[in-house]
Structures are given as C-alpha cells and as structure tokens.
Amino acid sequence: MIFPASQIALLINGRIEGDPDATVSSFGKIEEAGKGQLAFFANPKYEEYLYTTGASVIIINDAYQLRQPLKATLIRVPDAYTAFATLLSKYQEIMQQQLTGIQQPCYIAQSASCGQQVFIGAFSYLGENVKVGNNSKLYPNVYLGDNVTVGDNCIIHPGVKIYHDCLIGNNVTIHAGTIIGSDGFGFAPQADGSFKKIPQIGNVVIEDNVEIGANATIDRATMGSTLIKSGAKLDNLIQIAHNVEVGHSTVIAAQAGISGSTKIGDGVMIGGQAGIVGHIQLGDGAKVNAQSGVSKSIEPGKAVTGSPAYDYTSALRSQAAARKLPELEKRVKELEMLIKQLLGEKVS
C-alpha cells in the first residue's frame, strides 16, 4: 500500500514541510531508510542520520530546528515518537483486518461461539462454552479451555494457552507462548516431609487494554481471581503467581517475578529481573529498580533498589560514599600517623 504524506499527516495531526504528495510504502529506521520509506527522528543521538537518510518522509518534533536543508518531506508533530507509534498501530490494524475466517484443521466445540470478523488459525482448540468477541484474532496453535471468554479486538498470538474459566477483556494482546491460568504454586507441608498439593480452583481475569509479552506465565488463583487490571503492560518472561493483583497502567519488565497474593497498585513501574515476595503491597506509583529484591511493602510513590530493596535516593548516596572509600582509608591512615606524632609515639 502506498500513502502520501498528506494522508499520513491527517492520521497523526501533523504539519507538513515540503512536498505533500511525497509517497511511502513502508517504514525504515532513519539510519537505513531509503526512497519510498517513512522514518522518524526523536532521539538526538541519531541527529547525523537526519541529514544523510534516504527516507522520503520523516516525522519530526515541532521544536527541532534544522541545521541545513533536507530533501525529505517533514511531518512536524508535538512528539515524534508517540506519533510514529500511533501510525504503526494504524498500519497494524489495517493489516490485521484482512485476517478473517477459520483455518483448518481446528477443533471448535459446538457450544463455543465466535463474533463477527473473527480469525482462528490452524490447529487451534476452542473448548466448551468458549466465547470469542468481534474482530478478535487467534493465531495458529492457540488453546482456549472450557468456559474461556475472549473479548472484542483481541490478538492472541501463536501457541498461547488459556486454561479453563479465565476471562480476557477487550483490546488485549497476548504474545506467543504465554500461559494464562496454569495452577498456582500451592503445596501444604506434611508431617513426613512430603507436600500435599492444594487444588487451585480460581481463575485469571485480564481487563481491557492489557498487553502481555511472549512466554509469560500468569497462575490461576487458589480461590477467587488473579487480576491484571486495565492498561497494564507486561514484558516477556514474567511470572505472576496465584492471587496477585496488578494495578491499572502498571508496567513490568522482562524476567520479573511476583509471588502469591501480592497487591500491586496503579501506575507502578517494575524493572527487569526484580523479585517480589508474596503477601505485600506496592503502593500507587511505586518504582522498583531492575534486579531488586523486594521483601516488604512499598509506600505509594516511593522508589527502591537493591536486594533487599531500600530507598532509591539513599542507595545512590551509599554508592557515592562507597566510591570514596579508598580516599577515606588513606585519610584515616594519615590522621592516625598525625595523632601518633602529637602523642610522641614512634611512627613506623
């Protein structure tokens, strides 16, 4: 598909500088883009490529002042990065709208129901009483257990497994290999040293506008629901244990692990490889630095780092002090020598 700069500008509320009839048919990174491609410039680190790129159209911030003329047509917007993301979303939406119908072979239970403009890829399985909403896309090898509900405009990528009774809201994206609703890790210690499994009879509820990365796992609740609230964004390779609650618009980076029954507030940011113990609370707006080990509740708005995690500002001060230790050791030795001299002691 070919798009003129004027049409792209309308989509992102941009202002054109240059030829409004310049056309593009694909996207490219600013350092590699050629004729007929659309690029964006937002990071000053790539400024040199702005003047050498072969891109036909470039999305750029309103505030940026050119140092020399460009051959490319510019589309000026308040935030080039956000505008480019919006454009990519529109493009993806157009491409996905072309996917409809049911590929074969598939298994779809007679009691299952699908809305309009649904796509179900080959080798997918839809169990009893499954409901799939309008415009949702299930790519090949997706498994939906009995009584699973998937809302409207969802994208379920290849190999996703959603166990029985789990509920998926609208506009949810789940990437390849993710498991939703596997058993929570619950075992009761016995007198003989063995462990008795505790049945996990709850489910997982994922609200609207959530995105979950590849190969993540979200365990079903022992009772009740493991809950991912609207707008949350989860990266690849994340473990969410039973009965955890993840708040609205919270973001969690790759390889983080959240232990059972922990409650995470709204707008929380959790860095990669962070580990969080069970049965604690992270207040709204809290921030957990990468590789932190969180062993107790965090107040709203507070940032922590380290293992065990503690106040981020205090940690920075400690790190700064640690860098000065060799100098401090030298000064201590000099003071010891000076004291010995004042006391008339022999200095070796």
Tokens, residue 218: 């979200």
Matching residue, tokens 């709850």? 202
SS (HEC) of 300-329: CCCEEECCCCEEHHHHHHHHHHHHCHHHHH
Candidate list 164, 175, 242, 248, residue with the active-site label: 242
Helices (H), 47-79: 47-50
Active-site residue, 242 included: yes
* Eight-class DSSP state of 46: G
Q: Is 268 exposed, middle or buried (0-12, 13-18, 19+ CB in 10 A)?
A: buried
**Strand partners of residue 102:** 120
Structure token digits, residue 41:
């410039």
Residue 32 neighbours by CB distance under 10 Å: 12
Report residue 238 as tokens: 């994340």
Query: CB-based contacts of 305: which residues, under 8 Å, 6+ apart?
Result: 288, 289, 292, 312, 315
Tell me how far apart the alpha carbons of residues 259 and 184 are, in angstroms, rounded to a whole number.
10
Long-range CB contacts for residues 154-158, cutoff 8 Å, separation at least 24: 155/96, 157/214, 158/121
Q: Classify the phi-psi angles of 8: left when phi > 0, otherwise alpha if psi is within -120 to 50, otherwise beta.
A: alpha
Q: Which residues are catalytic?
A: 242
